[in-house]
Amino acid sequence: MWNSEHDYVAPRQVSEPEELVVLQEANAEMKSKRLRLDNVKDNPAKFQFWTNLPNYEVFNALNVYLQTRLDGANLCYWRGSSTGNTTTSSKRGPERKLTFEEELFIVLVKLKTGNFNEDLAHTFDISPAHVSRIFSTHINFLNLELKTLFEMQSSENNQAECFTSFENLKVILDCTEIMVHRASNLDARKKTFSNYKHYDSAKFLVGISPNLSVNYVSKAWGGRASDKHITLQSTTLMEGLDNGDSVMADRGFNVASDFKKKGVKLVIPEFKGRDRAQMTNKEASRSEYISKARIHVERVIQRIKTFYFLERTVRLNMHDIIEQVFTVCAYLTNFQMPVIRN
């Protein structure tokens, strides 16, 4: 029985229904703080932080486009070579825990943050193995679809002002590298060691169109490969260049004679050479003009590397997918805000 002689506050008696409501409210609050698509879709700043896309509307447009490419079929989970080249299946299969949209969101979060599968599994309440399946499946699908959408597409209209004076300009090229773990095999190590970067790397050729969107990504090469070798061995790029086209690049792309055979003009800054002290005023002005235009391909490459998955040194067991990952990250920059804002 309550003793009135002591100045204690009597505890408030909470009925079971009230306690249930309190617990439900606490649970709802916790759910609202978890990383979920529904929790960040209405906040553009948070959405960009987690996905590298400017807002949910852009993400949804990509999601809708990709689902139209499936044409009502299911996206088959990638399970290594046993799946062959099949991307879709008309079979219903087991019910999936996550929607296509939610899986795509997880893939973008992994690309942007570089988080491990175990971390994402804990965050999204699925197994690490399932995270791996989702990631591999969507990366291969995105690689195919984004290439189809953007690869070697011309942009005669809507060119950036800095490129308008370059006639028939098709693509602006530059190479970039990402770090890979050193292989134990000596022959493989010879191919991946970069004399320029002084570490083992995978090297890619990236091209942008005059409207500043990525329109070419080469396959992965060892860091030892030269810019010239990668360019001339990039079949899709070379076949996509027509007689009368122009290509802009840095001085290291010593391919002018090879392009000339195809009737393609190479636009690069002037060489001073060893036989003279300095360039003429005309040459210096032209070089500066070209460099100011060409710098935008480097800015786009910087954007690619804001997908922090590429910041980590690539493990050797990732060699079969890193090419697709880099390609997807490159083409996803086309969905970001323009490099040059009018």
**Do 93 and 240 belong together in one domain?**
no
- Residue 340 gets which letter from DSSP? S
What was the pLDDT predicted at 82? 43
**Do 145 and 242 belong together in one domain?**
no
What was the pLDDT predicted at 93? 46
Sign for the CA dihedral angle at 125, 51, 36, 147 comes to negative
- End-of-domain residue from the set 150, 174, 196: 150
What was the pLDDT predicted at 78? 77
What was the pLDDT predicted at 151? 95
In a domain, 79, yes or no: yes
In terms of residues, how long is the chain? 342
The contacts of residue 186 (CB under 8 Å, 6+ apart) are none
Residue stretches of the chain with pLDDT short of 70: 1-16, 20-32, 80-95, 155-157, 272-277, 342
Number of independent structural domains in the chain: 2
| Residue 222: CATH number of its domain | 3.30.420.10
The whole domain housing 146 covers: 37-150
**Do 106 and 166 belong together in one domain?**
no
Digit-coded pLDDT (tens) for 24-73 = 666 565 665 789 999 999 999 999 999 999 999 999 999 999 999 998 77
- End-of-domain residue from the set 150, 173, 203: 150
**Do 249 and 318 belong together in one domain?**
yes
Sort strands 214-217 and 88-89 into parallel, antiparallel or unpaired.
Answer: unpaired
> Which of 335, 326, 338, 341 lies closest to 52 in space, CA to CA?
335
**Do 143 and 190 belong together in one domain?**
no
* Rounded-to-integer distance, Cα 85 and Cα 145, Å: 14
225 and 203 Cβ atoms separated by less than 8 Å: yes
Sign for the CA dihedral angle at 81, 85, 91, 94 comes to positive
The runs of H, that is alpha helices, within 34-81 are 37-40, 44-51, 56-70
**Do 185 and 326 belong together in one domain?**
yes
The contacts of residue 315 (CB under 8 Å, 6+ apart) are 181
In a domain, 136, yes or no: yes
Round the average pLDDT of the chain to a whole number and report it: 87
What tokens were used for 82? Answer: 């046993």
**Do 316 and 195 belong together in one domain?**
yes
Question: Counting Cβ atoms within 10 Å, is residue 292 exposed (0-12), middle (13-18) or buried (19+)?
Answer: exposed
What was the pLDDT predicted at 6? 59
Buried residues in 131-144 as b, exposed as e (16+ CB within 10 A): bbbbbbbbbbbbbb
**Do 124 and 183 belong together in one domain?**
no
**Do 42 and 110 belong together in one domain?**
yes
What was the pLDDT predicted at 25? 64
**Do 53 and 115 belong together in one domain?**
yes
What was the pLDDT predicted at 324? 97
80 and 317 Cβ atoms separated by less than 8 Å: no
- End-of-domain residue from the set 129, 150, 171: 150
* Rounded-to-integer distance, Cα 316 and Cα 202, Å: 11
What was the pLDDT predicted at 90? 47
